[in-house]
Amino acid sequence: MARQRKKKGRPVSGWVILDKPKGMGSTEAVSKIKWLFQAEKAGHAGTLDPLASGMLPIALGEATKTVPYVVDGTKVYRFTVSWGEEHNTDDMEGEVTKTSTKRPNKEEILAILPNYTGTILQTPPQFSAIKIDGNRAYDLAREGEKIDIPPREVEIDSLELIEMTPEGHSVFEVECGKGTYVRALARDMGRELGCYGYIADLRRIEVSPFVEDDFVSLEELEAVAPERGEADANGIFPPRDFSALDELLIETGAALEFLPQYPLSDEQAYRVRMGNPVLLRGRDAPVDEDEVCVTQKGKLLAIGMIEKGQFKPKRVFTVS
Residue 69, H or E segment: helix 67-71
How far is 80 from 163, CA to CA, in rounded Å? 9
Q: Which amino acid is at 111?
A: A
Which residues participate in catalysis according to the annotation? 49
Per-residue model confidence as pLDDT tens digits over 47-80: 888 889 999 999 999 999 999 999 999 999 999 9
Q: How confident is the model at residue 89 (pLDDT cuts 50, 70, 90)?
A: confident
Taken in order of first residue, the domains within the chain and their CATH numbers are 9-72+209-252 (3.30.70), 75-207 (3.30.2350.10), 259-316 (2.30.130.10)
235 or 143: which leads in pLDDT: 235
Q: pTM here?
A: 0.88
Per-residue model confidence as pLDDT tens digits over 4-41: 555 688 999 999 999 999 999 999 999 999 999 999 99
200 or 282: which leads in pLDDT: 200
Considering the chain, what is the average pLDDT of its residues?
89
Angle at 213 between CA 212 and CA 216, to 5 degrees: 85
Strands, E assignment, the chain: 14-20, 42-44, 53-60, 75-83, 85-87, 96-99, 118-122, 131-132, 135-136, 152-164, 170-176, 197-207, 261-263, 278-279, 289-296, 299-307, 310-316
280 or 36: which leads in pLDDT: 36
In the sheet with 310-316, reading across from the earlier edge strand, the strands are 261-263, 289-296, 299-307, 310-316, 278-279
Per-residue model confidence as pLDDT tens digits over 202-245: 999 999 999 999 999 999 999 999 887 676 677 676 788 899 99
Residue 243, H or E segment: helix 243-246
Given a cut of 90, whether residue 115 has pLDDT beyond it is: yes
